[in-house]
Amino acid sequence: ILLIFEYVFHSKFTSPVLVYLVYFNSKKAKLQHIILLFLLAKSIILDYNKNDMVYDRFQQEAIEYINQGYSVIVSAPTGAGKTAIAEHVISKCLEDKIGVIYTAPLKALSNQKFRDFTVNFADNIGILTGDVSLNANAPVLIMTTEIFRNKIMDDSKSLEQYSWIIFDEIHYIDNPERGTVWEESLIFLPKHIKILGLSATIPNIRQFASWIESIHKKEIKVVVEEKRPVPLHFLYQCQNQ
């Protein structure tokens, strides 16, 4: 069994013949389950980062613009797969040996993204939220938008190594209390940093992109996806029902 595990884990692909032989020649059900679970785990761990992912139309459009060097604003429903675009930017920056910053509006979301990205990008990920500071010199740095704004104002030289900024939930610029943080971050953004903005709710996205273009004198590509992959249901409560 150990020899089989060793072969499967280090092989470049999982042979269907091997799976067949292992499964149907195993005498105990528990052994069958263990081996199949191992094969599944191996497939997930080793195959996740392969470049054979089939992207949706809007993902592919955004990725093509990014590869051409454009800043991009993406509006797509929740669950449509905006994070895949962010992961492409991160992978591209790591390949090119340049830095990228990922901002989120909430500390909880920043912590979640740190855990998620660490699975795929390991020690290349760092986080700054005010409460937490881990691997602060990492090429991929996750932080709250307030931390990023403060860096622009107080320590802009620390941003010279970063070529991309990913604004998750960029529609927070419309927030009455905190929107100025996003506004200042975009207005005073260093000229060498490209933008990837992600949101599920920007009704005036082209007007928003035009505003950013007027500030930085650079074209902003707009990508819109209206198809909702995860159904949205409305419920209300009345008289305890």
For the chain, the average pLDDT equals: 84
Task: Match 């195959």 to its residue by tokens.
Answer: 47
d(C-alpha 71, C-alpha 220), whole Å: 5
d(C-alpha 26, C-alpha 216), whole Å: 65
Mean pLDDT for 138-156 is 94
- pLDDT score of 48: 46
Strand 125-128 and strand 133-134: the pairing is antiparallel
User: How far apart are the two ends of the chain, measured CA to CA in Å?
Assistant: 56
Contact 83, 119 (CB under 8 A): no
Cβ-based neighbours of 61, under 8 Å, separated by 6 or more: 223
Q: Encoding tokens for residue 78?
A: 């929740």
Mean pLDDT for 210-223 is 96
d(C-alpha 24, C-alpha 32), whole Å: 8
Instruction: Indicate the SS3 state at residue 73.
Output: strand
- pLDDT score of 39: 56
d(C-alpha 50, C-alpha 122), whole Å: 16
Residues 84-109: pLDDT tens digits?
Answer: 999 999 999 999 999 999 999 999 99
CA separation, residue 173 to residues 38, 83, 147 (Å): 46, 19, 15
Q: Which pTM was predicted? A: 0.75
